[in-house]
Amino acid sequence: MTVGDWRKTFKQLKVRPAKLKKYMKHNAPKKRTCGRTTKRCESCGRFDGMISKYGLGLCRICFREMAPKIGFKKYS
Ligand SMILES: [Zn+2]
């Protein structure tokens, strides 16, 4: 299981709210204060290749697409 899809485990338990509550109590991941999972791309939700310089909060792929619109210029 990867970082982002822990919610997928609740699919079967949605019909049983009491069991879902118990499952959430014991199996929900703890809130992170540091590490790569704290930063997430604002447009696609990716964890990898984050660019937080200039307060962008985008991954490298989204930045590549949005860069000309924001005003970045490619020199090479
Ligand atoms: Zn992205």
pLDDT in tens, 3-15: 556 667 777 788 8
Q: How far is the CA of 69 from the centre of ligand 1 (A)?
A: 15
Top-level CATH class of 7-70?
A: few secondary structures
> What average pLDDT does the segment 15-36 reach?
85
Q: How far is the CA of 1 from the centre of ligand 1 (A)?
A: 21
Q: Quick one: which of 43, 75, 76 has its CA closest to 61?
A: 43
- Rg (alpha carbons) of the chain, rounded to whole number: 18
Residue 23 near residue 7 (C-beta atoms within 8 A): no
Q: How far is the CA of 64 from the centre of ligand 1 (A)?
A: 9
Q: How far is the CA of 13 from the centre of ligand 1 (A)?
A: 30
Does residue 28 carry a pLDDT above 80?
Answer: no
Residue 13 near residue 5 (C-beta atoms within 8 A): no
User: Which carries the bigger pLDDT value, residue 6 or residue 38?
Assistant: 38
Q: What whole-number distance in Å separates Cα of residue 46 and Cα of residue 3?
A: 10
Does residue 34 carry a pLDDT above 70?
Answer: yes
SS3 assignment, position 51? strand
Ordered by start, the domain boundaries in the chain are 7-70
